[in-house]
A and B are shown apart, each in its own frame.
Chain A
Amino acid sequence: MAKLFSYEEKGTWMEDLCGVTKLIFFLAWTITCMLTYDTRVLAIMLATSLILFKLSKTSWEQVGSVFKVILVFMIINILAIFIFAPGQGTKIYGTEHILYSLGGRWVVTQEQLFYELNVVLKYFTIVPAVFMFIITTNPSELAASLNKLGVSYNIGYAMAIALRYIPDVQDDFHKIKNAQEARGIEMSGKAKLMDRIKNVSAIIFPLIFTSMDRIDTVSNAMELRGYGKNKKRTWYMGRKLAKADYAVMIVTLVVMVIALVVTYHDGSRFYNPFI
């Protein structure tokens, strides 16, 4: 059973920040990370996010198994890049320093290794930020503060419902799966492809139909209690933006601007050590 990681109360200063502050940090961080390919910027961002990750007191047990999955994914990805395009590095950096040849067009070059290092860096820079955002943010509080920021409360509420119902739906899923396995339906890799599709639908059908029922029940309950009658809502978990929130937002935006200026000042998003 794959374990989802989720919010956990730890009493760090990061939890005291508003959900919106963390959302802005998170979006700014991932967008910067998406745009830049500058090795120096990526390395500094990775170091910073590792420090923040340490400060959030996230334990290895919480994220270890997910981390291993990421590692496998990453290894497959960089191998695939090399197999499909061994010349990508040369194409980007414009020079070619051959290290050794594996035969055919598969030539290992310094440029290729450097490019793939950047891909790995880019990927790992996002990871601690995502871990932190999910582990230190209370979903109800995030929904409340999203609404304060001007997002329609319907969207905030939909998000809150999503986060609230993940464990319930997951519970249903495992119950149905166990029940079907008890009836002798093979879920593991031993079955053939067509059989596996059929077997998976043996879980998905009951799961969807219970969920559709649940949608009806929950929306009826909300309707009875007058949801959506007024233009505004008050929030139990709502919180005002404090000084620390503004400070974090400003620092985040300043860092983002600096990172982008450093990346783009010479007109290319790549840092080229070969010229």
Chain B
Amino acid sequence: MKKFGIKEVVATGIGTALFIVLTEVQIPLGIIPNTSLQPRAAVLAFLAAVFGPVVGGIVGILGHALGDAMFYGSIWWSWVIPEAVIGIGVGLFAKKYQIKEGGFDRKAIVLFNIVQIVTNAVAWILVAPVLDIVIYSEPTNKVFAQGACAFVANIIITAILGTLLGMGYTKIGAKSSSLTKED
């Protein structure tokens, strides 16, 4: 694993700022209360895929907690922690996607989407509802309905927007194979 260097510090900082600002952009689905398509979820997956699990995890926790606090004046901890799960989960395979190196090809895209669907499932269908029940004693069927809805919304937006972001960024990134090390 890469060490937490200058680039990671700055990426965490600016990534968190980005995540917080994008809290504002929501596309309501209007079926289940308080869930909507959140482009910030795609951005989190993208940042985690580029910078790795540590950056992803911190951006998830800090971004969600601060974003909620600044926009809604409250923190729903049971939904902050799953966000970190996504950041870490997607970030674990950061080396495989090769986004920054310009290698985000079809195989990497498929892997990225499998990973994001699995981590989103763990986060929203398992972690979030369980924490909702443990912390807030909310009715089981309500929290699972909300969790499932968040899961569907997040995998849709991440599959579309996250993948496109990766493809766009990989094009402008330098190809690692374009330079060879001189012995």
Q: B111 at the A/B interface (Cβ < 8 Å)? A: no
Measured between beta carbons, the chain B residues less than 8 angstroms from A92 are 137
Q: A67 at the A/B interface (Cβ < 8 Å)? A: yes
Q: A248 at the A/B interface (Cβ < 8 Å)? A: no
**Interface mask (A141-185 → B, CB under 8 Å = 1, otherwise 0):** 000000000000011011111111110111001000000000000
Q: Are B18 and A207 in contact (CB under 8 A)?
A: yes
Number of interface residues of A (CB under 8 A): 71
Q: Are A130 and B165 in contact (CB under 8 A)?
A: no
Q: Are B13 and A165 in contact (CB under 8 A)?
A: yes
Q: A246 at the A/B interface (Cβ < 8 Å)? A: no
Q: Are A81 and B14 in contact (CB under 8 A)?
A: no
A168 to chain B, nearest CB (A): 7
Q: Are A166 and B20 in contact (CB under 8 A)?
A: yes
Q: Are B72 and A73 in contact (CB under 8 A)?
A: yes
- Interface hits, A94-137 → B, CB 8 Å: 119, 122-123, 126-127, 130-131, 133-134
Measured between beta carbons, the chain A residues less than 8 angstroms from B13 are 157-162, 164-165
Q: B96 at the A/B interface (Cβ < 8 Å)? A: no
B59 to chain A, nearest CB (A): 9
Known contacts A69-B71, A159-B62, A204-B43; is A80 also within 8 Å of B10 by CB? no
Please measure, in the bound complex, the distance between the C-alpha atom of A209 and the C-alpha atom of B34, giving whole angstroms.
29
**Interface mask (A185-206 → B, CB under 8 Å = 1, otherwise 0):** 0000000010011001101110
Known contacts A2-B24, A160-B13; is A84 also within 8 Å of B72 by CB? no
Measured between beta carbons, the chain A residues less than 8 angstroms from B93 are none
Please measure, in the bound complex, the distance between the C-alpha atom of A207 and the C-alpha atom of B161, giving whole angstroms.
13
**Interface mask (B91-116 → A, CB under 8 Å = 1, otherwise 0):** 00000000000000000000000000
- Of the candidates A134, A209, A227, which one forms a contact with B69 in the assembled complex, judged by CB atoms under 8 Å apart? A134
Q: B155 at the A/B interface (Cβ < 8 Å)? A: no
Nearest A residue to B144 via CB reads A84
- Of the candidates A2, A70, A88, A207, which one forms a contact with B74 in the assembled complex, judged by CB atoms under 8 Å apart? A70
**Interface mask (A226-238 → B, CB under 8 Å = 1, otherwise 0):** 0110000000000
Q: Are A197 and B71 in contact (CB under 8 A)?
A: no
Q: A76 at the A/B interface (Cβ < 8 Å)? A: yes
Q: Are A166 and B17 in contact (CB under 8 A)?
A: yes
B9 to chain A, nearest CB (A): 5
Please measure, in the bound complex, the distance between the C-alpha atom of A269 and the C-alpha atom of B138, giving whole angstroms.
14
B161 to chain A, nearest CB (A): 6
- Of the candidates B34, B161, B169, which one forms a contact with A201 in the assembled complex, judged by CB atoms under 8 Å apart? B161
- Of the candidates A76, A133, A215, A269, which one forms a contact with B10 in the assembled complex, judged by CB atoms under 8 Å apart? A215
Please measure, in the bound complex, the distance between the C-alpha atom of A201 and the C-alpha atom of B168, giving whole angstroms.
12
Measured between beta carbons, the chain A residues less than 8 angstroms from B172 are 209
Q: Are B168 and A209 in contact (CB under 8 A)?
A: yes
Q: Are B14 and A228 in contact (CB under 8 A)?
A: no
A-B contact pairs, 8 of them (CB 8 A): A5-B73, A80-B32, A166-B70, A169-B17, A200-B161, A204-B39, A208-B165, A209-B172
Known: A34-B135, A84-B139, A218-B10. 15 other contacts (CB 8 A): A4-B70, A35-B135, A84-B142, A84-B145, A122-B136, A154-B8, A158-B10, A158-B58, A159-B13, A162-B62, A162-B66, A164-B13, A208-B43, A209-B169, A211-B14
> Using a CB–CB distance below 8 Å, which chain A residues touch chain B?
2, 4-6, 30, 34-35, 37, 63, 66-67, 69-70, 73, 76-77, 79-81, 84-85, 88, 92, 119, 122-123, 126-127, 130-131, 133-134, 154-155, 157-166, 168-170, 173, 193, 196-197, 200-201, 203-205, 207-209, 211-212, 214-215, 218-219, 222-223, 227-228, 269-270
